[in-house]
Structure 1
Amino acid sequence: MSVILDLSYTVSVWISAAVAVTYTLLGGLYSVAYTDVIQLILIFVSLWLCVPFVVMNPASSDITNMTLSNTSHTSWLDWNQTSYGSPSPLESGPAAMILPLTLNYLTPSYISIIGIGAVAAAVMSSADSALLSAASTFTLSIYKNILRNQASQRELQWVIRAVVVVVGVVGTSLTKFQNSILEFWLFGVTVAYVFMFPQLVCVLFFDQSSGYGAIMGFMVSLLLKGLFGEPMLAVPATIHHIQNFPINTLCMLSSIASIFLFSFLAELLFNKGLVPERWDVFKVQESPPAAAVGGAMEDNGKLDEMDPQQEASAHMMDSRY
């Protein structure tokens, strides 16, 4: 939008975000599902429509000849033959805008508008899905289960709408930072891999894990991640490591090991009576075996079923001794 309509980058981002937030608020899941289908079709058709115009432009080199001559690593576009001029976008800075720039300078105006529409559709398809998933997760997992268990369906709908707006505003505001969206995405993937993935694996596949292990596993991974540093948060490294060392994998594996270890220790301490039962917040102490409880109840039932004569005989036999 900033390339075709000559708008500033900030204004273009806020317009796109406003459109995505608006139809997500109005339609909810149905709007996201239906627009994703329409946007997917638009992306496929529009971009393929742009390909012949880009390839047949005089500024484009023959890709086949470049591949056969082992020069595919060089640029197949001569930007000096376009109105963009030199240096190329890769050299001048806006390399992230290479697709909109290619559509704008190598295709007719009406084709470039269609191609930019496909790019915008791809962006909004991801944005509306992220908005709805974040709002649904917060509303059902935090608001409904923790904050207000008695919340009505209408109240939950309003909470989802409010969270959609908040997430949209916060996410759009992040674009003013110098960090690229890719860096934010990589940071989110790192958080999910280091902190959430160990918890998910242990909960789904291992019955031995408990809440105590989950808390300690999170603390261990957080401690290690802090010691190794995080450039995205400007956290300096206390422990210096060799280059290309898999730090995130080490933190993840340490978290899993900590979950197993502290889950086992907590269960051992409570079952051995070394820690009072009233401190067992997550209820890991084993209850008495069901067979023993059932046998005791059965014996009590048999005593209750004894008629008065048998009961009197039993007392007489006891008195003889």
Structure 2
Amino acid sequence: MDWGILVAFIAYLVVMLGVGVYFFRKSRNMKDYFLGGRELNPWVTALSAQASDMSGWLLMGLPAAAYIGGISGAWIAVGLALGTYLNWKIVAKRLRKFTSVAGDSITIPQYLQNRFASKSAVVRCICAVIIFVFFLIYTASGFSAGATLFQHIFHIDYTVAVTIGALVIIAYTFLGGFKAVCWTDFIQGIMMFLAIVIVPVVAAFSTAGLSLETLGSYNNGTFLNLFADGSGALPVIGIISSLAWGLGYFGMPHILVRFMAIKNSDMIKKSRIIAMVWVAITLICSVLVGILGYAYLTGQGAVPYADAKAAEVIFMELVVKLAPGFLAGILLSAILAAVMSTADSQLLVTASAVSNDFYKALIRKKASEKELMWVSRISVIVIAVIAYIIALDPNNSVMGLVSYAWAGFGAAFGPVILLSLFWKRMTMKGAVAGMVSGGAMVLLWENIPALAGTGLYSIVPGFALALILVVAVSLLDKKPSAEVEAMFEDAQKADI
């Protein structure tokens, strides 16, 4: 065991837990626990949003795709960059205003109920179910990524590795709530950025005979061909599916909640610039980790990884081979940072859905703030345990789990959120139809071999169906009330 790496890991985990303990004293009510009192500054908003967005796949899944397929693996990165920009550009500012005007909503389900001035909790409950189902899968991907890290570096049993990672994430999410999550994500975002930039640069200088000609010769001469991989030309449907990852952003509750929590909507522009610089650089470097990792290990005489699942350790391999003990530990902690920055956000959003949109809406409408906060904290533990059980299967692919959950959220919530912010004629029945059809389509597409076998990413049919049904059902439904239309107008004009 490399004690330098172990010391770096322990130091990192102690700091994260310390942040959780500090903010435990600061969370006085539900708004503090779930939105940080709407007091986030532009830097924390931007970096916490992007760190919670990228998760372990940035340092594991995407480099693995580039390692196996060469530069053609970058199509996903292109889709994500476009989606990130559009989300910040057209959704962020409006969502901050709309959630404030619509009853000072602190969760996405609550916003959708208030947006249509409905007394029924149906829409909140449907939202909560969707969040619960897909975040279980998403959180499990984080636990799985953390376990792969501990198993590969410390050679410990997979089950023990999953347990260690899960316990740390549960601890500081349970204690500190939204501010703890955002400030740890801010720190983790910086760590992820530095690590993903440093590793490919060092790998490039450490690879003997590195040249574009050499790189281009890999994978039957397709390694630097954006439109082909080792097995031949990329089908159009594959490129469309990769770009379609960008659609997911409009429906990601753990990202959208950052927009809701910024101190003032006028700060969104600054946050957008910070976020886009971070995203552009990290995505480019993530692809380079896979490409340069292939060149470096091939030059060292290593046998290439057989598939993307096996190649998910490429970042770790480069760090272990190129960096000394303690520095390697710091760089490897970036994987933990990526995992934890997403899993903690997902746990918190799911807990908010359980406590605020299930417990308060259906069971105890007069529950006190203190009671709801403790229901949320208990929910964090229960949800994490279920995700932990899912993650115990060592055959799960980090990219596969993320892909499934990403499609589910993007299809179920994306069209609904977009139209709720831009279309005054939309109705609650239209929103319900969109959420149910989008989420159901993803589940069917992923689990019916004939549909999954088409190669089309499930978010495409799911998003399209949800969009059509939101519009169709809303038009067939009676026109929104004067109160709802007035709220829509007020939100557009609000200076918040």
* TM-aligned CA deviation for residue 17 of structure 1: 1.5
AA matched with 1:61: A
Distance in 2 of aligned mates of 1:222 and 1:120: 29
AA matched with 1:190: A
* TM-aligned CA deviation for residue 117 of structure 1: 1.5
Partner of 1:152: 368
Asked whether the equivalents of residues 198 and 252 of structure 1 are also in contact (C-alpha less than 8 Å), the reply is yes
Partner of 1:66: 212
* TM-aligned CA deviation for residue 9 of structure 1: 3.1
* TM-aligned CA deviation for residue 206 of structure 1: 3.2
Runs of 4+ in 1 over 6 A off after TM superposition: 239-243, 284-287
Alignment match of 1:253 (pick from 454, 463, 467):
467
Distance in 2 of aligned mates of 1:241 and 1:46: 36
SS of 1:76's equivalent? helix
Partner of 1:94: 310
Distance in 1 of aligned mates of 2:453 and 2:174: 47
Structure 1 residues 111-160: Cα deviation after superposition (integer angstroms, max 9, x where no partner): 32222122212211222122222212332233223332111111011111
* TM-aligned CA deviation for residue 180 of structure 1: 2.1
TM-score, L = length of structure 2:
0.45
Partner of 1:235: 448
Structure 1 residues 262-319: Cα deviation after superposition (integer angstroms, max 9, x where no partner): 314xx6xxxxxxxxxxxxxxxx7999xxxxxxxxxxxxxxxxxxxxxxxxxxxxxxxx
Partner of 1:188: 405
SS of 1:230's equivalent? helix
Distance in 2 of aligned mates of 1:132 and 1:22: 12
Partner of 1:127: 343
Distance in 2 of aligned mates of 1:242 and 1:3: 34
Q: Which has the higher contact order (CA 8 A, sep 6+)?
A: 2
Instruction: State whether structure 2 residue 331 is matched by structure 1 residue 112.
Output: no
Distance in 2 of aligned mates of 1:258 and 1:151: 38
- Judge which range, 132-141 or 206-215, deviates more: 206-215
Larger Rg: 1
Distance in 2 of aligned mates of 1:95 and 1:129: 27
Asked whether the equivalents of residues 412 and 463 of structure 2 are also in contact (C-alpha less than 8 Å), the reply is no
Distance in 2 of aligned mates of 1:207 and 1:51: 48
Change (3 A) 1:285 1:53: closer
Question: Percent of counterpart pairs with the same letter?
Answer: 25
Structure number with higher helix proportion: 2
Distance in 2 of aligned mates of 1:10 and 1:3: 13
* TM-aligned CA deviation for residue 171 of structure 1: 2.0
Distance in 2 of aligned mates of 1:47 and 1:192: 27
Distance in 1 of aligned mates of 2:198 and 2:371: 46
Distance in 2 of aligned mates of 1:101 and 1:156: 44
Match runs of 1:25-40 below 5 Å = 25-40=174-189
Distance in 2 of aligned mates of 1:92 and 1:244: 18
Change (3 A) 1:55 1:168: same
Q: Which runs of 5+ in 2 are unaligned?
A: 1-149, 224-290, 484-496
Match runs of 1:277-316 below 5 Å = none
Distance in 2 of aligned mates of 1:46 and 1:89: 22
Change (3 A) 1:67 1:115: farther
Distance in 2 of aligned mates of 1:152 and 1:158: 10
Change (3 A) 1:253 1:39: closer
AA matched with 1:259: V
Distance in 2 of aligned mates of 1:220 and 1:4: 43
Distance in 2 of aligned mates of 1:221 and 1:170: 24
